[in-house]
Chain A
């Protein structure tokens, strides 16, 4: 659905600072149809710039971008037909009514006139704004305006949704609703390219992701592959029913166990062995008299992985 080939975008740093900012540094990646692709990175990493270049709103300094096989620079309007775009900070036309707002974009995307009223109602209902159908946009809450923005972006039924920080400024309830909405859109067969600072949310809904820092791609691919490629090791947490057993001492005598962090009746350690070896270790502990209450495998969250990558720990 999206192909970036050697895409570079150079900016000047603010006056007084020598050199230039490379918002995108020879980015090469592809996003397959039907994926929910998350682009994560700190502020100024080049996420919004990348999104704008994909939408044809900004020209790359060099490189080529294709959406659905169409060169965005050569045929921007043809490519934009396949894209629904939502910016990070945006306003809506406050003086219009909700249906008029969606109707405007339906016309601007040149939907057949006879189908517009039904499509407008359908999209407004899909976004849960049917009670506000005839209300003024000015009176909507922030979350509702965000929904209206998504309604605008999907009104022409594009195969690709490009969303820049759609959850920013939303309260927790609106964020949950947004996640459900995006899942529904994904189930409908759309490809979603999304940036967000709320990494746990992204982790829940994304199938693939890319980590961007200072314009460079640190990692990209399926979430599990990215985790694996970051050299993640298995951390195991064991809890005992009582603290009488000397768990730390026992663990220290076992092979493949390292980085033990023990507390009263519990311990966490790194165990690079296989699942069968872990099962054997637990069985041995029980046979040694340890009252094992629970065994839990812990993995890095996306946030932790991002924190490790962006500080250069894994490079």
Chain B
């Protein structure tokens, strides 16, 4: 690892002997205090295996906090600080390949937090011996901790790459909020998904399990709520699988997707960032849908499950849509470098054609899976299922196309402004509809479909039969709005195409 220049630089700058000695002393003292505190707990409070077991749990929780939280912040700072200090260009012109530079930052930026965890290792070993815990379980907990933390670091590093001047604090808060959200998912099976926690904090659950009992399959979500989390199995397409393995595989793959985006862009001109190619975008949508469909619990209300899956797909497709947006610089380059004089219809309407295909594909995949899983007792209509999917695709394309138009407009942070406008738009619409009780009235619900994605959640045979014309009009209205955004975008692109200097300037004589 030290063969990587970037890792070595971080080691040299962060791990000076004096700093290491101070950190080791502080960690040692805090561990002693924690151990002494736990030693004084009563037997019931400390658990059946005494305070050693409690200390082990605490130490792993702390390591997860330090590695994921502290290391995450270090990763958010890693690229942003270099850009801010004008040192990033010097790294970009070196012979470090994009992957080497990415890995250097991934393992180098949080190196001090790794050192703190290393300082805790003697205490962990002591607690494991005192709590009579198996070394393989402690080792497994460390694997979970490291894999979870590294995947999270890759995500934080990606955020750092995308952070622009003035938004550093927001980036740090965002990364910590994401960590909080993924860590607050109950370690057991959630309501909709038979999938446990994917966060590094799961290591603290693993380290307190007593043995490697085979995974327990339970047929309903409620029966297992009192079981210790580590013994619960995830259910992948109906087959129980050990969560430890699932967590490691998913985290490694999620981390790999983040690394792919980083390696594609870290040495690029920042105005030309493109997180994923269109084909890679299809790949990431497919991967996430395999995970969602594989672990979803079809036994809860089928309509709710479909709505939840579409909502999650909305987040994924929204992110993919953002990654496919073309700013003015990219558009100019496209216009100036393409062979034909006029931009193609795909360029003028980008990313609508691509995003519609991906969104419709993803939502139809969800529908097909729901259709296969549906219970005959539940009212189910394939036709309405498809209509909801198309509504969903149109809604995603509409908002993304609006943002594409916004990002092509001149102004300070046009994309941020576009997102802000969308948020205000949705907040206002929601307030208006709620004030007039439209969202509660089956008779008036159809009117909300013009602006809100309510069809995804409420459109069924009963709702359709009340106001078929309004639902249909709302569907058509989505496409009218998309067409308007594309028209506005087309005008901006044609204006950019016209702005090129008309005549080549002859070079002066040597």
Q: Which A residues have a C-beta under 8 Å from some C-beta of B? A: 6, 8, 10, 12, 15, 19-20, 22, 25-29, 52, 55-59, 61-62, 76-77, 80-81, 83, 85, 87, 89-93, 95-96, 100, 104-105, 107-110, 152, 156, 216-222, 225, 229
Contact = CB atoms under 8 A, between A and B. Distances in A.
B501 A62 contact: no
7 contacts: A12-B328, A61-B336, A62-B337, A87-B90, A91-B87, A104-B9, A229-B509
A89 B88 CA distance: 12
Contact of A104 (B5, B89, B272, B411): B5
Contact of B95 (A22, A90, A91, A109): A109
B415 to A, nearest CB: 14
A156 B96 CA distance: 13
B427 interface: no
A156 B95 CA distance: 10
Contact of A96 (B9, B271, B504): B9
B499 interface: yes
A217 B94 contact: no
A81 B95 CA distance: 6
Contact of B5 (A25, A29, A95, A107): A107
A178 B424 CA distance: 56
A306 to B, nearest CB: 14
A220 B92 contact: no
Contacts of A59: 269, 271-272, 333
Nearest to A59: B269
Nearest to B268: A59
B267 interface: yes
Q: Give the interface centre of B8, B329, B505 by most chain A CB atoms within 10 Å.
A: B505
Given A15-B410, A58-B269, A80 B508 contact: no
A15 B89 contact: no
Contact of B87 (A10, A25, A92): A92
B500 A93 contact: no
Given A27-B507, A55-B89, A104-B9, 8 more contacts: A8-B336, A15-B411, A80-B93, A91-B87, A107-B5, A108-B95, A108-B96, A217-B507
A61 B12 CA distance: 40
Interface in B253-275: 267, 269, 271-272
Given A12-B410, A77-B95, A26 B5 contact: no
Given A26-B505, A59-B269, A90 B90 contact: yes
Interface in B71-107: 85-87, 89-97
A221 B509 contact: yes
Chain B contact-residue range equals: 35 or more
Given A62-B336, A219-B508, A221-B510, A80 B87 contact: no
Given A59-B333, A61-B333, A108-B91, A87 B86 contact: yes
Contacts of B500: 8, 10
Contact of B501 (A25, A76, A90): A25
A26 to B, nearest CB: 5
B40 interface: no
A8 B85 contact: no
Contacts of A29: 507
Contacts of B90: 85, 87, 90, 105, 152
Contacts of B9: 93, 96, 100, 104
B42 interface: no
Given A59-B269, A91-B86, A93-B13, A107 B501 contact: no
Contacts of B8: 104, 107
B6 interface: yes
